[in-house]
Amino acid sequence: MVSVDADDPATPLKAQVEAGNVTMDVADIETSQAIRMCDEGLLEPIDPALLPAAPDGTLAVDDFLPGALTDCAVASILWTTAVAYDTTKFEGNAPTSIANFFDVANFPGKRGLRKGAKINLEMALMADGVPAADVYATLATPEGVAQAFAKLDTIKGDVVWWEAGAQPPQLLADGEVTMTTAYNGRIFNAIANENKPFQIMWDGQVLDYDLFVVPKGAPNKDAAMQFIAFATDTQRLADQATWISYGPARKSSAAFVGLFKDGKTDMKPHMPSSPENMTNALFNDVVFWADHDIQLNEQFNAWLLK
């Protein structure tokens, strides 16, 4: 097998299929891309019966986390956008809930947020008391959108906006913010490899997947399906946590997650999918954002200018 790094494999995959000149057999893409490209007929369907059962015999369709299997894709990793903070700024008063992120009076300091509607609106609603299970139903109404923006108004003057994943840990390290939303893998890397005094606060995290897909017309389709079945079994998904703090997409993998590559850091507490980190977690609803992305980002940009 030859692995090639790509910033956005979906783009060359689409071009290859449309040109009838497919050279890749498996690609790793995000949920929204997998659903859209499957709908466009660019991907091979994947039969979940090809995927191995969990060690206790639980079928793959029941072992993968919600949304991890689609008609044309099988999830490998679960990553998240969560709140991270500098522990030295909150000694004796660490934030424990998404509501604390919006409470500048009791948890002072600038806040980092990604510049865009997605995730900010969801977190604002959860901070305002909307249960995770009701967030998208609420956000689908004008009243819910108004509620989310009203909550964002409470910290707007304290926000430092970021646009790239490398920025949040740097904002924390430079002291420009005391708390920020961030991709969990970036924060873990700063903690484990750079000894930064950071901590992830998991309450209100918003989760998403990376998934394996097979392009339509893949030259080695059968081998590609065999690779996906192997790479997404219980043990293999647990093994990948040795390298980065992205959670396995199968429930049965959690018990097999071990140590980081340093040989001493227990990775279980750093997994977004660890049961103790999932008590108030939200899965990104890609269908909702496919329907509302343009409208809500127009409102977000108008709100920024107020």
User: CA–CA separation, 58 vs 242, rounded Å?
Assistant: 24
pLDDT at 225 over 80: yes
Q: What are 258-273's pLDDT values in tens digits?
A: 999 989 999 999 999 8
* Average pLDDT taken over every residue of the chain: 95
Contacts of 83 (CB under 8 A, 6+ apart): 95, 98, 101, 123, 179, 180, 181, 182, 200, 201, 203, 204, 205
pLDDT at 274: 85
- Domains of the chain, earliest start first: 10-78+208-266 (3.40.190.10), 81-207+280-305 (3.40.190.10)
Which residues 6+ apart lie within 8 Å of 201 measured at CB? 82, 83, 84, 85, 94, 95, 96, 97, 98, 100, 101, 179
Mean pLDDT for 124-136 is 97
194's CB contacts (< 8 A; 6+ apart) are none
* pLDDT mean over 166-190: 97
